[in-house]
Structure 1
Amino acid sequence: MLDLKAVEKDKKSGLPPVHLWHPEFCGDMDLVVKANGDWVHDGDKIKRAKMVTLFSHILWYEEGEYFLVTPVEKVRIQVEDAPFLVTKWRYIDTAKGPAIEFTTLTEDVKVLGVDCELWLEGSEQAERPYISMRYGMKAMLHRNVFYQLVEELVAVNTPQGSGMGLVSAGKAYLFILDE
């Protein structure tokens, strides 16, 4: 099992400095982050939100694989889609104007156009919305969040074209391209 005693948080970000740790690979852990945001260990959903948040804080993405990392251990886990799930959003004021603030199930907070980007991924019949997260990872927007944001769409012009989208912190994000 993973030794979590050595995990200390960076005082500025509130996250451990996972990017500074380079332990040897220790093997695989029976832990799966499901597409619906559940974290499942040995076939059982982890019900303690604080444990899931702790694990999410030591998550590392490398060459298409996910790992839980401490200063002395690195174990591989499985992720079905995205390791983070956006469950809340709200408008906030920023120096660049009104912005959309996202909160994940694990209480990560990202501001669209400031410290994260938004895109759609998948086929035209099944596109899913994602935002960028730390270390090259991504968070999928929960269906309810996506539907709420669709109600906020406005006309936008972007380098990809014109259509309907969102504006956050002065940056436009295209959702529906004008034909």
Structure 2
Amino acid sequence: MSGSENNPDQPEQAHKDLGQILTELEKNSDGQSLPPVEKWNPDFCGDMELVIKRDGSWHYQGSPIGRQRLVKLFSTVLKKEDDKYFLVTPVEKLGIRVEDAPFLVIRMQVKDTADGPLITFEDNCDNQIILTEDNPIWVEHDSKTGEPSPYIMVRRNLHALIHRNVFYELVERAEERVIDEQKHLGVISAGEFFSLGTI
């Protein structure tokens, strides 16, 4: 008998399947706006066997979830607290694992306006993210290889990894600018300069 069976204070392993969670979500969704997960604070119900891979794919009990409609719906109730991720409904809070970022940017679009360029990203869950001061971009580098990993804030402390091909598009648009006596390569969107790194 395991220690968790003897410890009444430790949450039981979550056994809810995705179908049950889906039913709960559909009861509380109007299909248009994002659910108010920041207002939902149910008790922690345990961890479930759900992993969001670095390539943006969702895997449940070791198998990929092939139905994009489900992935998109579950993504609307993602919540991050400290460095942990959860799926949250009004009645339950289930821990999941995220290998890198919960979203993956797969394309970008640049619109020229009277106030300058506006860069919009789209991720694998159909979120449209405009590159602004509230939704900034940043680049982290692997300490061993130096390989860049670019990210953008999506919403509510949740961010997206920018696919390498999209990042190359950004780099092609980039211009040089000196900031604090350091030369940066970056892009302009919504009147702001966003550094992609120093050169």
What TM-score do the two structures reach when normalised by structure 1? 0.90
Per the TM alignment, residue 140 of structure 1 is displaced from its structure 2 partner at its CA by 0.3
Aligned 8 A contact 2:139 2:197 in 1: no
Residue deviations 1:152-171, cap 9 Å, x none? 11123445833321011111
Any idea what SS the aligned residue of 1:8 has? coil
Aligned 8 A contact 1:154 1:165 in 2: yes
Aligned to 2:161: 140
Structural RMSD (CA) = 1.9
Aligned-partner Cα distance in 2 for 1:160–1:39: 43
Aligned to 1:68: 87
Q: 1:54 corresponds to which letter in structure 2?
A: L
Aligned to 2:198: 177
Per the TM alignment, residue 127 of structure 1 is displaced from its structure 2 partner at its CA by 1.9
Aligned 8 A contact 1:121 1:129 in 2: yes
Count of aligned residue pairs for this structure pair: 176
Aligned-partner Cα distance in 1 for 2:177–2:119: 16
Residue deviations 1:68-125, cap 9 Å, x none? 0011111000000000000010012567432100110000111101541000013361
Any idea what SS the aligned residue of 1:151 has? helix
Moved segments of 4+, more than 6 Å:
none
CA 1:134–1:176 in 2, change beyond 3 Å: closer, same or farther?
A: closer
Per the TM alignment, residue 7 of structure 1 is displaced from its structure 2 partner at its CA by 2.5
Q: Does 1:161 align with 2:182?
A: yes
Q: Which of the two has greater helix per residue?
A: 2
Per the TM alignment, residue 15 of structure 1 is displaced from its structure 2 partner at its CA by 0.6
Q: 1:72 corresponds to which letter in structure 2?
A: V
CA 1:45–1:160 in 2, change beyond 3 Å: closer, same or farther?
A: farther
Aligned to 1:4: 25
Any idea what SS the aligned residue of 2:160 has? strand
Aligned to 1:16: 35
Q: Does 1:130 align with 2:183?
A: no
Aligned to 2:76: 57
Structure 1, gaps ≥5 residues long: none
Aligned-partner Cα distance in 1 for 2:98–2:164: 19
Q: 2:153 corresponds to which letter in structure 1?
A: S
Q: Does 1:98 align with 2:117?
A: yes
Structure 2, gaps ≥5 residues long: 1-15
Aligned-partner Cα distance in 1 for 2:30–2:157: 20
Any idea what SS the aligned residue of 1:133 has? strand
Residue deviations 1:128-173, cap 9 Å, x none? 1000121211100011111111111112344583332101111111
Which has the larger displacement, 86-95 or 70-79? 86-95
Q: Does 1:152 align with 2:179?
A: no
Structure with the greater alpha carbon radius of gyration: 2
Per the TM alignment, residue 17 of structure 1 is displaced from its structure 2 partner at its CA by 0.7
Q: 1:106 corresponds to which letter in structure 2?
A: C
Aligned 8 A contact 2:119 2:130 in 1: yes
